[in-house]
Amino acid sequence: MGDVASSPVSSSVPSVDATARAIEFWFDFGSNYSYLSMMRIEALAAARGARILWRPFLLGPVFRKLGFDNSPFVLQKEKGAYVWKDMERQCRKYGIALTRPSTFPRAALLAMRVALLGAHEPWIGAYCRKIMQLNFADDRDIGSIDVVSEALDALGLPAQHLIADAQSDANKLRLREQTEAAIAKGIFGAPTFFVGGEMFWGNDRLEDALDYCHSMPASG
C-alpha cells in the first residue's frame, strides 16, 4: 500500500486546556492497530476538546503474562493473515500509508523509553507518529539507535541528550513499572484507552472512547 499518502508527521493540532477531559492512550510501537490510532488520535481528541494522557508500555510482558510467547497475530496463522488484510482496508479508509513490516512485531525498546521520557512534553505526539511511520510505512528498524536518533533529529530535538536520559536506570525502571501498571489495570492488548475507570480496547473503539470522554464533565 505504498501508493497511499502518508499522514503528516507534524500536523498542526489545536492546543487543549489542561483541565479538559482526559483519555489515557496505552500503546506499543510494535502494535499495528496502535499505528492506526496513533495517526488519528490527536486531531480526533482536539475536535472533542479532550486531552491525551500518553501511556507507552511493553506488550511483550503482557503477552507472556497471558501465556503467549509472541503476538497472537503471529501465533495464529489464520488470524495473522486476516489482520494484514484488515490493516490494508483500514489504512485505505483513513488515508494512512502501509508497508507490512519485514519484522513483526518489531522490538522498539529504545523508542518506547524515549516516548516515556517525553510523555508530558509538547513533542510527544509528533515523535510517536514519526516512529510509527518509520515502522509501518517505511519498514525501518525502530529498535536501532540510529533510527531513533533520525526521528528525533527530524523533529529538531536533541537526540543524543534525550537518548542518554531515556537509557538511564531510572527511566528503564519507569517503563517496567508502567508495563506492570498496564497489567494491573487488566490491559491485554494495544491500543487500549481509559476514560476514568472505563476501558476501551482496539482502534475501532477510539471514537467510542472519545465520545464517552466528551460526555463527561470537564475537570477543574
Q: Annotated active-site positions, please?
A: 31
Surface-to-core class of residue 4, CB atoms within 10 Å of its CB (0-12 exposed, 13-18 middle, 19+ buried): middle
Strands (E), the chain: 21-27, 50-56, 192-195, 198-201
Interior/surface letters 168-197, b for 16+ CB within 10 angstroms, e for the rest: eeebeeebeebbeebeebebbbbbbbbbee
Q: Which residue has the cell 472519545?
A: 210
Number of H helices, E strands in the chain: 11, 4
DSSP 150-175: HHHHHTT--HHHHHHHHTSHHHHHHH
Q: Which residue has the cell 496502535?
A: 34
